[in-house]
Amino acid sequence: MFRSIIQLILLTLTAVPLVAQNSDLFIYREFENAVKKGTRTMDGIPGSAYWVNSTNYKIKASLEPVTGKISGEASIVFSNNSPDDLKNLAFNLYPDLYKKGSQRNVDVSPEDLTDGMNLQELIINGAPFPLDKMQRNKAKGLIKLPEPLKSKTSLSITVKWSFTMPKNPDARIGTYGDSSYFVAYWYPQVAVYDDITGWDALGYEGEHEFYNDNNSFEVELTIPDDILVWATGTHLNTKELFSESYFKRYETAKKSEKPVIICEPGEVKDVLKPGGVKTWKFSAIDVPDFSFSVSNNMRWEAVGLPVENGKRNVLISSVYRPGTDSLVGEVITLSRHIIKYFSEEFPGIPYPYETMTVFNGSGGMEFPMMVNQDVENDRWLATYVTTHEIAHTYFPFLTGTNEKRFSWLDEGMAVYLPLSEQTKIYGGLRYDEMTASNLSRTMGTQNDVPLMIPSHFVQGGAHMIGAYARSGMAFLILENIIGKDIVKKSIQDFVNVWKHKHPTPYDFFFSINRSSGKNLNWFWKAWFFDYGYPSLGLNDIDLKNGRKFEVVKKGHFPVPVVLEILFEDGTVETISKTAEVWKNGEKSLVLSVPGTKKIDKITLGSPKIPDVDNSDNILNLTK
């Protein structure tokens, strides 16, 4: 008994430095354990023992455009870089979302219900694996390996499969008439095994998004003649497939500063050399996933963009349906503009890939080097969705964040990064004001939950409010506190350190603290860990005689203070304080109006700042 007590005391003492250092932030035990193991640190940088796995895919697949059936065979090499011997292997089998009886958070048309992904053969290290031994649930497949995969070794996998694309498009993939498809989540994918939770055991229910290692792909897609293909990565055999005149257009577009029409819908049959079925070859290195689109009736425009001071060129394409609103044709210019902005201005990180294709399909969804979206007849939506989806290049694709558990980190960043430029592109787009208005209605309600509650536990409107609005606003307030230049530097540092890895929210928080030179835990705690809402009010202390008044912090969340003082002579002065005035738990802020001019009215707040109760945001002295 005494020995047990001593052991307990020693264990408690060894935990003190970690807890004491971050006593104002709750730390998940998984992260504490990672710090103890040396894979993470409290400074926002990987530990000396950090590791990350990777998978190489060589895929040969075909698409039957009439039926939408995809058949494939893949040779996969999974590298176990972890210190653990792995007894199991987990796969993502995303087409099982459409399997009859599968658990889903989204509606699926009855005509799209299938048997899911049809696995025909699975070979592990040269030995056939019995498919009936695979446990399948919620688009996840788990097998027990015949022999444990030793640490620092690799495993070879051969798999054959098929499935049928849904006839009805959703927000991510779809069928768009004859011979037009956007295909994603389409191959058996090795799941992530990381230092935080081990195997990613979370399935796919159609609502929450994804979590992938940094992988490489060699893909061959066999498609009937007169159908074009766009995909993640570099197209390796364009010259082999394209007729000479269209190949010249393609090459011209790579270096052109203005969009080049590569083909009109009626020209598709002329783009490719005669000869029947075509095999399109693509290569993508250091990407988390691979998607592709096909069509025989789209307009294809492309333009080039030099990045890294002209060291390389990015080919940007817009592929859209004939007869769509003219603004869809502007997406090519918009895409080039925002990639240039991200690369050169904010966050000032060069676009890391060779291509970007925006496909006019459905919804609005990001993929490495690909976007699937439908923004017809809405210029505001075209501006927002295009810039938002391309921003995902940095979060989660480049940084490898876990969208399943903490979707706010990539979605919030994709809201924040293009925000100021969206307003310049389309002046009526005031997403910051829309977000503030939305949060003023929703924060503090049952639909508003702390962002550090893992995303897969939160659904519907509550998930959307947190992942997009609350996190996007939090990053705007972070900018208010430390300034945009420091935010930019801090994001650059974070991306450089965590590129192609798997940062958690704690790595992000501590990295920003380190880069900014500020302990921002008071801010992280409120906006990311706590329940509550933002609300400020005004109180007249002695305005008529002493010109003093008070800003009262009624809510829990720190927000900036913006005051407009109207004098009786009609002149106006503004007083602004950053949200940092509340960092030490202050409940009020006493201010004095400078000068001697008679005060008419003081107004608190801004359309860009959420406030759930603004009934006491005006002091009138002339009443």
Q: Is 70 exposed, middle or buried (0-12, 13-18, 19+ CB in 10 A)?
A: buried
DSSP 257-285: SS-EEEE-GGGHHHHBPSSSSEEEEEEEE
Residue 14, pLDDT score: 38
CA distance 603 to 620: 9
Cβ(539)–Cβ(577) under 8 Å?
A: no
Q: Is 160 exposed, middle or buried (0-12, 13-18, 19+ CB in 10 A)?
A: middle
Please check whether residue 84 lies inside any domain of the structure.
no
- Looking at 509, 529, 549, which one is the last position of a domain? 529
Q: Is 93 exposed, middle or buried (0-12, 13-18, 19+ CB in 10 A)?
A: buried
CA distance 152 to 554: 55
Residue 435 CB partners (closer than 8 Å, separation 6+): 415, 468, 469, 472, 473, 476, 610
pTM of the predicted protein model: 0.94
Please check whether residue 344 lies inside any domain of the structure.
no
CA distance 284 to 74: 15
All residue ranges of the chain with pLDDT < 70 are: 1-23, 324-327, 429, 623
Sign of CA dihedral 389, 308, 504, 416: negative
Residue 567, pLDDT score: 95
Tell me, yes or no, whether 563 and 614 share the same domain. Answer: yes
Please check whether residue 189 lies inside any domain of the structure.
no
Question: Helices 471-482 and 431-442: crossing angle, nearest 10°?
Answer: 120
The continuous run of DSSP H or E covering 433 comes out as helix 431-442
pLDDT per residue as tens digits for the range 170-193:
999 999 988 999 999 999 999 999
Q: For residue 285, what are its two tokens?
A: 């290195």
Tell me, yes or no, whether 437 and 523 share the same domain. Answer: yes
Q: For residue 94, what are its two tokens?
A: 């995303």
> In the chain, what's the furthest Cα-to-Cα distance?
91
Cβ(361)–Cβ(372) under 8 Å?
A: yes
DSSP bridge partners of 313:
306
Tell me, yes or no, whether 507 and 460 share the same domain. Answer: yes
DSSP bridge partners of 72:
61, 161
CA distance 4 to 133: 43
DSSP code, position 99 = B
Tell me, yes or no, whether 518 and 559 share the same domain. Answer: no
Sign of CA dihedral 579, 425, 435, 411: negative
Nearest CA to 280 among 226, 217, 236, 250? Answer: 236
Nearest CA to 539 among 591, 579, 586? Answer: 591
Please check whether residue 245 lies inside any domain of the structure.
no
CA–CA distances in Å: residue 615 to residues 338, 483, 484, 550: 39, 30, 31, 15
| Torsion angle (degrees, nearest 10) of CA 21, 17, 502, 523 | -10
CB neighbours of residue 81 within 10 Å: 15
- DSSP E strands, 153-239: 153-164, 174-175, 181-183, 189-190, 193-194, 198-199, 215-223, 228-231, 234-235
Please check whether residue 207 lies inside any domain of the structure.
no
Q: Give the domain extent around 499.
A: 425-529
The continuous run of DSSP H or E covering 472 comes out as helix 471-482
Q: Cis bond leading into 83, ω under 30°? A: no
Tell me, yes or no, whether 456 and 432 share the same domain. Answer: yes
Tell me, yes or no, whether 470 and 514 share the same domain. Answer: yes
Tell me, yes or no, whether 556 and 576 share the same domain. Answer: yes
Residue 4, pLDDT score: 38
Please check whether residue 168 lies inside any domain of the structure.
no
Total count of domains within the chain = 3
Cβ(358)–Cβ(369) under 8 Å?
A: no
CA distance 277 to 222: 7
Tell me, yes or no, whether 566 and 480 share the same domain. Answer: no
Tell me, yes or no, whether 517 and 438 share the same domain. Answer: yes
CA–chain centroid gap for 427, Å, is 25
Tell me, yes or no, whether 499 and 563 share the same domain. Answer: no
Residue 5, pLDDT score: 34
The continuous run of DSSP H or E covering 143 comes out as strand 140-149
Residue 544, pLDDT score: 82
CA distance 535 to 348: 34
Q: Is 207 exposed, middle or buried (0-12, 13-18, 19+ CB in 10 A)?
A: middle
Find the angle CA(499)-CA(503)-CA(506) to the nearest 5 degrees.
Answer: 140
Domain harbouring 542, CATH code: 2.60.40
Q: For residue 540, what are its two tokens?
A: 């007249």
SS3 track for 341-352: HHHHCCCCCCCC
Tell me, yes or no, whether 525 and 546 share the same domain. Answer: no
Residue 177, pLDDT score: 86
CA–chain centroid gap for 80, Å, is 26
Cβ(342)–Cβ(382) under 8 Å?
A: no
Q: For residue 544, what are its two tokens?
A: 């008529």
Tell me, yes or no, whether 507 and 553 share the same domain. Answer: no
Residue 240, pLDDT score: 97
CA distance 142 to 126: 19
- Looking at 507, 529, 551, which one is the last position of a domain? 529
Please check whether residue 400 lies inside any domain of the structure.
no
- Looking at 529, 558, 590, which one is the last position of a domain? 529
Please check whether residue 104 lies inside any domain of the structure.
no
CA distance 69 to 441: 46
